[in-house]
Structure 1
Amino acid sequence: MTPVGTDIADRVLGGWLGRIAGNMLGKPVEQGDHWTRDRIDRYLRQAAALPLTDYLPGPADDGAGGEFELRPEWRDCVRGRIHGSCRDDDVDYAILGLDLLETHGFSFSTEQVGDLWLARLPYLQTFTAERAAYRNLAKGLKPPVTATYENPYQEWIGALIRADVYGWTSPGLPWRAASLARRDAVLSHTGNGVYGAMWAAALISAAFTAPSVRDALDTALDVIPASSRLARAVRRVIALHETRMSWEDTLTTMSEETAGMGWIHTVPNAAVLTAGLLYGDGDFTRTITLTVRGGLDTDSNGATAGSVAGVLCGAEAIPPQWKDPLEDTVRSAVFGFDGVRISELASRTVALVDV
């Protein structure tokens, strides 16, 4: 777990590095209806890469297709071929959140989140609920209507992936982190989509001070309605873990209990993420690899798991095979940020922390 004396700067840098590394790990297999948990493990077994302790191996046939066809971006995010991070919305939104707080401070409004999207984020780099909200903003609609008009993705995972910066800038203040994340999330989401963002922000905030992953998860549950589907799913994973059920059987059980929600819905992804955190038990490598092997929205889940694990252990303790290939460089679609240093993003984040 986190060494005594690890400072805020190292923990925040750990969060950024963890988010980016976890995202890169999951990116080649981000297609949950094809890349099931079973298929991911069969791919890894075929490549003699289990237990997984590094980025995914490239395909033996150089991506010729078939059952094990990876996403088109795989060439830039498999082991041995990574030179800086790939562009991805899971990282773009963390950057946008940082820019938002630098520009407007912690009193930002939901309308200002939307204005920043229009000014900084290309439309074609948005997806599902974010694209629907962006389109509604361009039509002149205002929040919270931007989240509900012609948007069938209101409870999908998009708001959750935007929440990290609110946790990083609110260490040990989970309720504040959740409040900030909610203000951002209601631009595009409702219900469990908003709760997912609040939960993730609180989880990351709690990771700065919690003595264990389990304690951080318990704290994060406090900020969302106990009766919500999200809270029930997280509590269910915790209960299964407490019975000493295996990671595989826990995910099989949760898959059955969340069947029909789809692979990008917040609830089943939060279950995969919770299982990765609990069974990873504070170990960075085990946490992100179990989370990605869990399937569904692999790059988003890997990113959030990496953020939590990175905050828990600090940047210094992240094994070099994860951080060295990133070369302290981020590719981003956010205007003005492409090629920025990860260390600079972390320093700018720390500058916002009131400690």
Structure 2
Amino acid sequence: MTLEGTELADRVLGGWLGRIAGNMLGKPVERGDHWTRERIDRYLRRAGALPLTDYLPEPADESDELGLRPEWRACVRGRVDGSCRDDDVDYAILGLDLLERHGFGFTTEQVGELWLLRLPYLQTFTAERAAYRNLTAGLKPPLTATYDNPYQEWIGALIRADIHGWTHPGDPRRAAASARRDAVLSHTGNGVYGAMWAAALIADAFTAPDARHAVEAALMVIPAGSRLARAVRRVLSLHEAGLGWAETLDTLSGETAGLGWIHTVPNAAVLTAGLLYGDGDFTRTVALTVRGGLDTDSNGATAGSVAGVLCGAGAIPPQWTEPLRDTVRSAVFGFDGVRISELAERTVRLAGPEG
């Protein structure tokens, strides 16, 4: 099954809008060592915002406000006016620029060259900053990922994967292969598998009947014995067994304890749970994913991308899209203030038969 024309355009725009909206939803509470699942729900309960059906409310008291990220005022309901700058969106833009410049035959070295050209060093973090530093020291891939880099299996490569999924609609294996060439600049092991899995997940969402099908299809592109695959399968089995969302996350939290809140594996578990228990509903999917804690803006962004592709832009409720004003703030040189609709149109040109 393939998509083309207006349906493809609607799904791609849904992916972009979903990614940006999900990122904005999770951004105020992006500090997983502080904003646990219990603390996030307590915040929402105090503000009378459970169930969560819109961007986060303003904090109900000063103690909640002190824990929020400094950008929170531009990300809460009633104050969103275009998107905030964030690396979760910057990398999608940078990936689009990469494919427009070099096509689908791009090399890992070209990914690094584009980072140096377009991406400010201080807007990189963890594994990406280590790889950037290694690039400036003259190292080449794969040494850029392995030298003095303790973050090799963290979530950074996964958040760069969307563009590879959007431009390979219905073809998860090619999406994963493209994402892998990008990921190995900065990551190894489960860090790379996370990017491959996310790209395949998004690619399959274009033609999948539901989120579960996409999650299962994405598992086929990564090693079955990897810790990432085992965690995703565990969520699938608990969901199928009838456990509730909170019980499933309690179980996975115990089984992935010690990995840290930015590691790929526990975040993929939270993301998978959000997709399965969200059951195709965009609002429920992004809300559950962000309420799951850990790297909330990254997980919200990927969940929003998958859900947006599954339902299409036209089916995303307006409370998520209208405040974005079709505008993106970005640190990628030459892209600040670009229209979301323009980014989607350029993506469709790459994803279509002539791309």
TM-score bracket, shorter-length normalisation = over 0.9
Aligned to 2:335: 337
Indicate the residue corresponding to 2:11 in structure 1: 11
Range moving further from structure 2, 234-243 or 67-76? 67-76
- Correspondence for 2:217: 219
Indicate the SS of the match to 2:135: helix
What is the TM-score when the length of structure 2 is the normalising length? 0.97
Residue pair 2:34, 2:67 contacting (<8 A) in 1 also: no
| Cα shift readout 1:300-321 (whole Å, capped 9, x = no counterpart) | 0000000000000000000000
Residue 291 of structure 1 aligns with which residue? Answer: 289
Change in 2 beyond 3 A, CA 1:83/1:67: closer
The counterpart of 1:322, out of the listed 313, 320, 323, is 320
Q: Deviation at 1:59?
A: 1.2
- Aligned-partner Cα distance in 2 for 1:211–1:302: 21
Instruction: Kindly indicate whether the alpha-carbon contact (under 8 Å) linking 1:31 and 1:296 is maintained by their aligned counterparts in 2.
Output: yes
TM-score of the superposed pair, with normalisation by structure 1: 0.97
Residue 353 of structure 1 and its aligned partner are, at CA, apart by 1.2
Q: Which amino acid aligns with 1:20?
A: I
Structure 1 letter corresponding to 2:53:
T
Q: CA deviation at 1:35?
A: 0.1
What letter corresponds to residue 184 of structure 2 in structure 1?
V
1:176 aligned counterpart, secondary structure = helix
C-alpha deviation, 1:65, in angstroms = 4.3
Match for residue 38 of structure 2?
Answer: 38
Report the AA paired with residue 327 of structure 1: R
Query: What CA distance in whole angstroms lies between the structure 1 residues aligned with 2:168 and 2:249?
Result: 31
Q: Match of 2:59, as an amino acid?
A: P
8 Å Cα contact 1:147/1:190 also seen in 2:
yes
- Gap change, CA 1:23 and 1:16, over 3 Å in 2: same
Q: Find the aligned partners of 2:67 and 2:157 in 1 and give their Cα distance.
A: 28
Provide structure 2 residue ranges, at least 5 long, that are not aligned to the other structure: none
1:104 and 2:110 equivalent?
Answer: no
Post-superposition Cα deviations, 1:117-161, rounded to whole Å, max 9, x if no partner, equal 000000000000000000000000000000000000000000000
CA contact (8 A) 2:131 2:145 kept: yes
Q: Is the 8 A contact 2:59 2:65 kept in 1?
A: no
**Could you give the per-residue CA deviations for residues 209-264 of structure 1, whole angstroms, max 9, x where no partner exists?**
11111111111000000000000000000000001100000000000000000000
Contact kept, 8 Å, 2:205 with 2:211, in 1: the verdict is yes
Superposition RMSD in Å: 1.4
Taking a change above 3 Å as real, the CA distance of residues 6 and 276 of structure 1, as seen in their structure-2 partners, is: farther
Paired residue secondary structure (1:40): helix
Aligned to 2:24: 24
Instruction: Report the Cα offset of residue 60 of structure 1.
Output: 2.8
Q: Deviations over 1:49-87 (max 9, x none)?
A: 0000000001134xx446862111100000000000000
Task: Confirm or deny that 1:50 pairs with 2:50.
Answer: yes
Q: For residue 173 of structure 1, what is the amino acid of its counterpart?
A: D
Distance of 1:50 and 1:174 partners within structure 2: 35
Structure 1 runs of 4+ with >4 Å offset: 65-68
**Counterpart-to-counterpart distance in 2, 1:75 and 1:42:** 19
Is the CA contact (8 Å cut-off) linking 1:6 and 1:314 kept in structure 2? no
Structure 1 segments unaligned to the other structure (5+ residues):
none
Equivalent residue number for residue 140 of structure 1: 138
Does the CA contact (< 8 Å) of 1:30 and 1:299 recur in 2?
A: yes
Identical amino acids, percent of aligned pairs: 82
1:257-297 deviation digits (Å, cap 9, x = unpaired): 00000000000000000000000011000000000000000
SS at match of 1:352: helix
The aligned amino acid for 2:43 is Y
Q: Spell out, residue by residue over 1:9-54, the C-alpha distance to the aligned partner (whole angstroms, 9 max, x if none).
A: 0000000000000000000000000000000000000000000000
Contact 1:199 1:223 (8 Å CA) reproduced: yes
| SS of equivalent to 2:131 | helix
Name the CA distance, whole Å, in 2 between partners of 1:60 and 1:191.
Answer: 42
Q: In 1, are the aligned partners of 2:43 and 2:60 still within 8 Å (CA)?
A: no
Deviation, structure 1 residue 6: 6.7
Other-structure match for 2:74: 76
Aligned mates of 2:351, 2:318 — CA distance in 1: 27
Aligned to 1:208: 206
